[in-house]
């Protein structure tokens, strides 16, 4: 499995498909922090959304680096189709980790924040960036092998709806239950938009539980869809 993950990383780097999303990400981070004295958590909310978008983009390109014939050869070598999927996810996790480190550490090193950054801020930043990165991997992998003709359009649509969740409910309240099908992105970001002094109560832990239950169910469904589609 380690060999396959290493192969995926090297193959993806050689494909050069990583250049556009990573370039966009780095340029955006530099532009966002061009000024000093920015608020801590709201800035991290913006970079969390950026990670969400870029990881979705990266995931879809990671899943597209092999042709169909090469993919079936890898199935044979791995001996299990699930290992192929897990290897793809592991590759996405590696790139997600790199993006998250850059997004969190860069403004601290450059001393861009207004006020003192505390452990709570770092904890919330890690939680929001990592959770939205997982949502990005979920969306990217879901649409990489389903609705291939409209995969990019479908992924963008899901991202837009998940980010506009609260606004949609305010205007069209009867679709509230239908929107539970979309990643609970706003529940993750809400705590980063309350200012730099955030009260952490029971609701926060409930929202964490909802987010990760959604992800666990989502990844299990993708695994089953993938093995059935490639059975």
> CA triplet 48, 52, 56: central angle to 5 degrees?
160
For residues 161 and 182, the answer to whether their CB atoms sit within 8 Å is yes
Segment 183-212 shows an average pLDDT of 80
- Across 212-231, b (16+ Cβ under 10 Å) vs e yields eebbeebbeebbeebeeeee
pLDDT tops 70 at residue 15: yes
Rounded to whole angstroms, how far apart are CA atoms 91 and 109? 27
pLDDT tops 70 at residue 28: yes
pLDDT of residue 135: 96
- Per-residue pLDDT tens digits for 98-156: 999 999 999 999 888 887 788 888 888 999 999 999 999 999 998 887 666 778 888 88
For residues 96 and 55, the answer to whether their CB atoms sit within 8 Å is yes
pLDDT tops 80 at residue 180: no
Determine the 3-state secondary structure of 113 from DSSP.
strand
For residues 18 and 12, the answer to whether their CB atoms sit within 8 Å is yes
* 231 pLDDT tier (thresholds 50, 70, 90): low
Mean pLDDT of the chain: 84
Higher pLDDT, 163 or 201: 163
- Per-residue pLDDT tens digits for 52-107: 999 999 999 988 887 767 776 777 777 777 888 888 899 999 999 999 999 999 99
Name the DSSP letter for residue 175: G
For residues 192 and 45, the answer to whether their CB atoms sit within 8 Å is yes
For residues 39 and 197, the answer to whether their CB atoms sit within 8 Å is no
For residues 222 and 138, the answer to whether their CB atoms sit within 8 Å is yes
pLDDT of residue 145: 73
């Amino acid at each position: 499995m380690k060999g396959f993950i290493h192969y995926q990383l090297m193959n993806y780097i050689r494909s050069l498909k990583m250049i556009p999303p990573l370039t966009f990400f780095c340029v955006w981070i530099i532009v966002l922090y061009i000024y000093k004295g920015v608020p801590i958590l709201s800035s991290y909310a913006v970079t969390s959304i950026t990670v969400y978008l870029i990881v979705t983009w990266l995931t879809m390109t990671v899943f597209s680096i092999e042709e169909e014939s090469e993919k079936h050869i890898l199935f044979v070598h791995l001996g299990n189709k699930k290992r192929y999927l897990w290897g793809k996810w592991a590759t996405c996790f590696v790139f997600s980790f790199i993006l998250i480190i850059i997004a969190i550490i860069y403004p601290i090193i450059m001393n861009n924040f207004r006020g003192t950054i505390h452990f709570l801020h770092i904890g919330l930043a890690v939680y929001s960036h990592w959770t939205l990165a997982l949502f990005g991997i979920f969306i990217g992998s879901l649409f990489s092998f389903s609705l291939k003709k409209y995969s990019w359009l479908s992924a963008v649509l899901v991202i837009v709806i998940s980010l506009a969740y609260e606004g949609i409910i305010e205007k069209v309240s009867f679709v509230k239950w239908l929107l539970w099908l979309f990643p609970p992105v706003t529940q993750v970001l809400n705590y980063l938009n309350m200012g730099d002094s955030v009260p952490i109560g029971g609701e926060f832990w409930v929202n964490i539980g909802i987010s990760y239950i959604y992800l666990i169910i989502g990844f299990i469904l993708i695994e089953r869809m993938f093995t059935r589609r490639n059975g």
